[in-house]
C-alpha cells in the first residue's frame, strides 16, 4: 500500500520503505526510499551527472528516492559516490527485510543509441561485484567515470547482492554510464518484485538468504 507523497519531498512511508543516515568525517548522507514507489526522486549530491544517474535508478526501478549528501567535494567525488552507494545499499537491505516473496533474481539489457549494457542481480546474501565497463572517457561532466565501480562495490557490499555489470557496446561515456544505471534499475526492480506464486516464501532451498 502506497501513501501519496507530498510533492515537495519524497518521504518513505510504505511497507517496503526505509531511511538510513550515515555520517562520517568525509560525508553526511541521508537516504530515504520506498521500493514500491512510482519513481519520484529528490537528489542532492553536489555532482550533477551523479544525480542524473541516481534519477535513473528511481525512474526505471520505480523506487521513490530521496538522497541528500554533504560530501568532501573540495577533495574530489570519491567519498561522495562511494558512500552514497554504501548508504543506498544499507537502505535497500533494510527495506527488503527477510526477502519473503521476492523474485530474488533480476536482469536487464538497456540500450541508448550506440551503447548497450547488461546487469544481472541476485539478492543472494553474498556480496559480490563483477564489472566490465571500458569507459571511453575519464570524466563525464564533473563525475569521474572510475567512481562507477566504487558506487556499485559499496552498494553490493551493503545490500548483500551479487552483481554482474557489463557494458557490451558504447562509444560515448555518458551513454555507457547511463545504460549501466538504467539496466541496474530494471534488474533491481525485477529482483525486488513480489511474486504472487511464492507469497511469503523465501526464494532459497536453504530457507534463508
Ligand atoms: Mn543522459
Give per-residue pLDDT as tens, 51-102. 999 999 999 999 999 999 999 999 999 999 999 999 999 999 999 999 999 9
Q: How far is the CA of 27 from the centre of ligand 1 (A)?
A: 26
Determine, yes or no, domain membership for 104.
Answer: yes
Determine, yes or no, domain membership for 204.
Answer: no
pLDDT at position 2:
43
Q: What is the CATH number of the domain that holds 65?
A: 3.30.230.40
| Ion ligand 1 nearby residues (CB, 5 A) | 178
Specify which residues 23 forms β-bridges with: 28
What is the average pLDDT across 170-190? Answer: 98
pLDDT at position 3:
44
Element spanning 55, H or E: helix 48-61
* pLDDT band, residue 8 (cuts 50/70/90): very low
Q: Residue 3 has which C-alpha cell?
A: 501513501
Determine, yes or no, domain membership for 80.
Answer: yes
Q: How far is the CA of 158 from the centre of ligand 1 (A)?
A: 27
Cα dihedral 178, 74, 131, 127 sign? negative
Determine, yes or no, domain membership for 194.
Answer: yes
Our CA dihedral for 34, 173, 76, 130, rounded to 10 degrees, sits at 60
Q: How far is the CA of 144 from the centre of ligand 1 (A)?
A: 15
* 3-state DSSP assignment of residue 87: helix
Residue 12 has pLDDT above 90, yes or no: no
* This prediction's pTM: 0.93
Residue 137 has pLDDT above 70, yes or no: yes
Our CA dihedral for 141, 150, 192, 49, rounded to 10 degrees, sits at -10
Higher pLDDT, 33 or 4: 33
Determine, yes or no, domain membership for 3.
Answer: no
pLDDT at position 4:
45
Contact 188, 165 (CB under 8 A): no
pLDDT at position 78:
98
Distance CA 98, CA 108 (A): 24
% of the chain with per-residue pLDDT over 70: 94
Determine, yes or no, domain membership for 170.
Answer: yes
**Total count of domains within the chain:** 1
Residue 1 has pLDDT above 80, yes or no: no
Q: How far is the CA of 49 from the centre of ligand 1 (A)?
A: 8
Determine, yes or no, domain membership for 205.
Answer: no
Contact 118, 109 (CB under 8 A): yes
Determine, yes or no, domain membership for 206.
Answer: no
Residue 168 has pLDDT above 70, yes or no: yes
Contact 85, 50 (CB under 8 A): no
Range of the domain at 114: 8-198
Q: How far is the CA of 174 from the centre of ligand 1 (A)?
A: 6
Amino acid at each position: 500500500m502506497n501513501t501519496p507523497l507530498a510533492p515537495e519531498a519524497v518521504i518513505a512511508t510504505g511497507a517496503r520503505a526505509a531511511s538510513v543516515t550515515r555520517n562520517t568525517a568525509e560525508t553526511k548522507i541521508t537516504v530515504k526510499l520506498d521500493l514500491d514507489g512510482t519513481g519520484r526522486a529528490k537528489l542532492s549530491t553536489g555532482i550533477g551527472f551523479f544525480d542524473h544517474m541516481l534519477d535513473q535508478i528511481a525512474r526505471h526501478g520505480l523506487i521513490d528516492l530521496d538522497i541528500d549528501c554533504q560530501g568532501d567535494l573540495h577533495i574530489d567525488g570519491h567519498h561522495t559516490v562511494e558512500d552514497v552507494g554504501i548508504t543506498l545499499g544499507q537502505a535497500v537491505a533494510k527495506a527488503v527485510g527477510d526477502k519473503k516473496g521476492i523474485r530474488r533474481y533480476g536482469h536487464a539489457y538497456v540500450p541508448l543509441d550506440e551503447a548497450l549494457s547488461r546487469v544481472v542481480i541476485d539478492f543472494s546474501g553474498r556480496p559480490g561485484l563483477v564489472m566490465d565497463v571500458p569507459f571511453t572517457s575519464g570524466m563525464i561532466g564533473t563525475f569521474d567515470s572510475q567512481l562507477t565501480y566504487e558506487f556499485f562495490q559499496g552498494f553490493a557490499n551493503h545490500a548483500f547482492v551479487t552483481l554482474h555489470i557489463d557494458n557490451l557496446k558504447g562509444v560515448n561515456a555518458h551513454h555507457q554510464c547511463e545504460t549501466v544505471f538504467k539496466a541496474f534499475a530494471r534488474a533491481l526492480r525485477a529482483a525486488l518484485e513480489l511474486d504472487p506464486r511464492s507469497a511469503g516464501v523465501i526464494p532459497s532451498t536453504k530457507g534463508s538468504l
